[in-house]
Amino acid sequence: MDAGLEIFDLISLHHEALTHCVFPDGPTAIPAGSASALESFLLEALSPFRAAGGGPGGAWERRLFRQAEYSEALVLRNVKLEEEIANRQKAEAAIRESKDHYFQLYQEARAMQVNLRELSAQVLSAQEEERKRISRELHDEVGQALIAINVTVSMLKRQVISDPAFQRNVSDAEQLLARTMEKVHCFAR
């Protein structure tokens, strides 16, 4: 004990001493009466350990108890680590799923942007076609109607040469008609 040996060290030394001293030629058979002498020798060798706390409730049992507590603490810690690993794996899966979801949303947004451009081009094309149609109608139908009115006013002007007030009204109508035709041509352009 003073040398710092443990019980297992003592048993190992006892076994070695027995094999070299009691059975120098090899332990083929234990002689009669030697077994109880060997047992009492071992018990005497172990008695200082028992007296120093190696017996029931002693240092050896306290060490075993501490090891059991340590083992329980390790088991609890392993459980917590496994829970943390599971939580982290769930979080990583959620992040991957979120990343995939946002990538899909990004792809959909890009497709919608392309569709929007195409629709805008179609709207602009339709507007341009509508403008062309309105321009043709203004030029053709309204323009022809204004020309017909202009011809009628010119004929009226020639018929009544004697009344100056009527001629002035006809001239004012011609000027108004000319301005209106110019505006229609501007709208048509």
Q: Which domain holds residue 170?
A: 73-188
Same domain, 82 and 122: yes
DSSP string, 41-102: HHHHHHHHHIIIIISTTSHHHHHHHHHHHHHHHHHHHHHHHHHHHHHHHHHHHHHHHHHHHH
Two tokens, residue 163: 């009344």
* Residue 19 covered by a domain: yes
User: What pLDDT does 1 receive?
Assistant: 55
Question: In degrees to the nearest 10, what's the CA dihedral of 177, 180, 181, 187?
Answer: -170
The encoded tokens of residue 101 equal 């979801």
Q: What are phi and psi of 51, to 5 degrees?
A: -70, -30
Q: Are residues 82 and 23 in the same domain?
A: no
pLDDT tens for 125-161 read 999 999 888 888 877 877 788 888 888 777 777 776 6
Q: Do 169 and 90 share a domain, yes or no? A: yes
Residue count (the chain): 189
Find, among 169, 171, 184, 174, the residue nearest to 149 by Cα.
174
- pLDDT for 179 equals 85
Same domain, 50 and 78: no
Query: φ and ψ at 64, to 5 degrees?
Result: -65, -40
How many structural domains comprise the chain?
2
Of 174, 178, 175, the C-alpha closest to 153 is: 174
Judge whether 60 lies within some domain.
no
Both 30 and 123 in one domain: the answer is no
Q: Are residues 49 and 89 in the same domain?
A: no
Q: Note whether residue 61 is domain-resident.
A: no
Ranges of the chain whose pLDDT falls below 70: 1-8, 10, 18-36, 38-39, 45-64, 160-161
Q: Which pLDDT score is estimated for 56? A: 47
46 and 82 both lie in a single domain = no
**Same domain (yes/no): 17, 87:** no
Q: Say yes or no: 111 and 183 in one domain.
A: yes
